[in-house]
Structure 1
Amino acid sequence: MASRTWTFSGRILGVGTTSGVRVVVGVWDDSPLGSFADVMVERADGHRLLIAPSQEVVDFVASTYTFDETRVEPVQVGTDATPDRGVPHTLHLTTASLELAADLGRRTALGWLLRGIPRGLAGSPALSTVTDPVARVVLRGVRTRGSAGHGRGEYYGATDIRAVRAVTARLDGVDLGTLTPVDPPARFGFSSTPRRPALTEVVTTVVERA
């Protein structure tokens, strides 16, 4: 049976806040839709919101994950870097609805292990199939393969993880509070980000069966 495949390479930021809102930011350097960033927000009451920079991105993401509301807004993402090392230490995101700044920490122990995986191999569905049972045990709420429905399978391959030390955010003008674990897990698809707030380098493969 023929299938269609899309590959996205970039970073995923996952944070929780004391207001009960969980935020997942995707910053995609290379994708079939070009370079872009999008935001998935789950409020404390379970309402799931997608913010994306174009209707094309909204249509693709909403055909892969599940939301109660979508908004088309420009999504601007930037980083501040340590002058002597050029290492990003703060990620800034701005849309019409959301402002967020995440203070990035050091690479985690798991991040050091993942750095040995070539990016080409990280995006392999075969590797995601092998790592999925481990991810379920080691990282609560995380799976590396599965489906949110909609006839599409998804495969995640991580190549680095940095901890998030603090976050400030406002959604629709309301302060979201301070950093907490991503708990309960976000419910946009079959997998959540790690419970510990983090910025994860990732290669994501989406497969649609004809």
Structure 2
Amino acid sequence: MIRTRFLFRRTAAVAAAGAAAFVLAACGGNGDDSAGHGGHNSNSASPAVSASASQGQHNAADVAFAKGMIPHHRQAVEMAGLAPERAQSAEVKKLAAAIKKAQDPEINTLSGWLTSWGEEVPADGAMAHSMHGGESGGMMTVQEMDRLEKASGKAFDTAFMEMMIKHHEGAVEMAKTEQADGSYAPATEMAGQIVISQSAEIERMNKLLGKN
């Protein structure tokens, strides 16, 4: 009986020592083996890292660009929508159609970015603000839009192009700000396309107005 108790105690002691050694080894491994520790953390954090990669590669400038450009584009599309029935010049009608075709999809893309970033999409009727202290970014006032809506023929053509030049100039400035300050590659790429396409349209409208 005494020998049995001794063997039992010896076995328990060995087991306890083994368990303690295992715990110490495990703790030592976590503290000293950076590869093992890092591997565990990278596995458990990978979903968060992936989420961050998909949602976090943008900054405040990207958000401001999207929130400013959506209402800006909406107004350009609204202006372009007046041309088929009010414009006299075939060139103006063609230009308006090109503006609508380019900017409608960009509105959808910009809205999708904001939604994926957890940001609010500007409501219809919201005014655009450039990233230069809240300036209008070339947006037309209510009075200017009323004047355009009431015009027709050659008077519409002239008013449309003069207003759209101002509108495009504002968009180009907003896009250049995004190129300089933004970090979300698709947004800076869109900004670059806006600078190129709308600068070309400004030049085209100035020629039609006889300013070049």
Q: TM-score per shorter chain, which class? A: under 0.3
Q: Which has the higher contact order (CA 8 A, sep 6+)?
A: 1
Q: TM-score, normalised by structure 2?
A: 0.24
Q: Give 1 or 2: higher strand fraction.
A: 1
Q: Give 1 or 2: higher helix fraction.
A: 2
Q: TM-score, normalised by structure 1?
A: 0.24
